[in-house]
Amino acid sequence: MSHVETMIPPQPAPPGTVRPFTAQRLIGNIALGVWLAASVGLFLLMVDGWDPEKFAKYGPSFLSGLGVTLGIVGSSITLGAILSLPIAFARMSKNKILGWAAYTYVYFFRGTPLIAQLFLVYYGLGSFRPQMEAIGLWWFFRDAWNCALLAFTLNTAAYQAEILRGAIQSVPRGQTEGAAALGLPPRVAFFKVILPQALIVALRPYGNEIILMIKGSAIVAIVTVFDLMGETRRAFSRTFDYQMYVWAAILYLIMVEILRNLWAWLEDRITRHLKR
């Protein structure tokens, strides 16, 4: 019978695995270094050019610009959502003419740049001043803000109609048939069975659309609406101070990031019954 006679002498812990210094790591460190240098550079630029007088003068106008941006995006998204309902249903209807008209509308507004649509409304419709005055609509088209609201609403309605249509059509047919088998009237089936499932699918594209509108709304600065971008351009043209653009960039990034995180949280919450 054999047994252990000597204990294995205590040994030092094995050396930790050394991560090799790969080319990837080198590139990654260089890239991070570039970002760090850029942010430090921007920070120094802002410290260097810091001027309390400028801050006091242009700070409030930046805030009011932020308000204008949020106002125009919020109202055009809301109005667009209302307008998108009939368009989406026309697009899905069996009536050929209705479907074709809705398709043309959507194709036009998704196929042309938002800025061209804005010019078409602001300068284009603005050139029909006598006719507008005759039918009493001139007060609306006189104001650049209203024109921007109109163009944005029409544009986002086209995008939202496509989102809504895609979401509704993504709900399997069996759901409609199941509701019919239970004897639910079509209206109830739509609102209680189809729409809730469709909205889960539509949530993420809706978030993307709002972000696109926030970013797209910067172009109203070109038609003399003083939103965040407009205030930035005004401040830059008066001071020739580059950090105005940096401030605007920071504000836009904060807006978009807040919305993105809010949407991620919302999606997490709404789909919690689907988690395993």
219 binds other proteins (CB under 8 A): yes
**From 86, 126, 166, 207, residue interacting with other proteins (rule: CB under 8 A):** 126
CB of 68 to other proteins, least distance (A): 14
Which sign does the torsion angle of CA 48, 53, 56, 61 carry? negative
CB of 132 to other proteins, least distance (A): 12
Q: How many CB atoms lie within 10 A of CB 110?
A: 12
**From 59, 67, 124, 196, residue interacting with other proteins (rule: CB under 8 A):** 124
**From 214, 223, 225, 235, residue interacting with other proteins (rule: CB under 8 A):** 214
Spatial distance between the Cα atoms of 80 and 41, rounded to a whole number of angstroms: 42
Which one of 95-103, 114-122, 160-168, 197-205 is the stretch in contact with other proteins (CB under 8 A)?
114-122
100 binds other proteins (CB under 8 A): no
Q: How many CB atoms lie within 10 A of CB 61?
A: 16
CB of 128 to other proteins, least distance (A): 7
Spatial distance between the Cα atoms of 140 and 144, rounded to a whole number of angstroms: 9
**From 125, 184, 195, 199, residue interacting with other proteins (rule: CB under 8 A):** 125
Nearest Cα to 213, choosing from 106, 118, 88?
Answer: 118
Residue 79 structure tokens? 């109005």
Spatial distance between the Cα atoms of 188 and 36, rounded to a whole number of angstroms: 57
Give, to the nearest 10 degrees, the angle between helix 144-170 and helix 52-92.
50
Which one of 17-25, 46-54, 72-80, 137-145 is the stretch in contact with other proteins (CB under 8 A)?
17-25
Spatial distance between the Cα atoms of 73 and 210, rounded to a whole number of angstroms: 8
132 binds other proteins (CB under 8 A): no
Which one of 50-58, 71-79, 198-206, 246-254 is the stretch in contact with other proteins (CB under 8 A)?
246-254
The interface with other proteins within residues 25-54 (CB under 8 A) comprises: 25, 27-29, 31-32, 34-35
222 binds other proteins (CB under 8 A): yes
For the range 78-82, what are the long-range contacts, defined as Cβ-Cβ under 8 Å and sequence gap of 24 or more? 79/149, 79/153, 79/157, 80/152, 80/153, 80/154, 80/155, 80/156, 80/157, 80/159, 80/160, 81/157, 81/160
CB of 24 to other proteins, least distance (A): 4
Q: Which residues bind other proteins (CB under 8 A)?
A: 22, 24-25, 27-29, 31-32, 34-35, 107-108, 110-117, 119-120, 123-128, 214-219, 221-222, 229, 232-233, 236, 242, 245, 248-249, 252-253, 256-257, 260
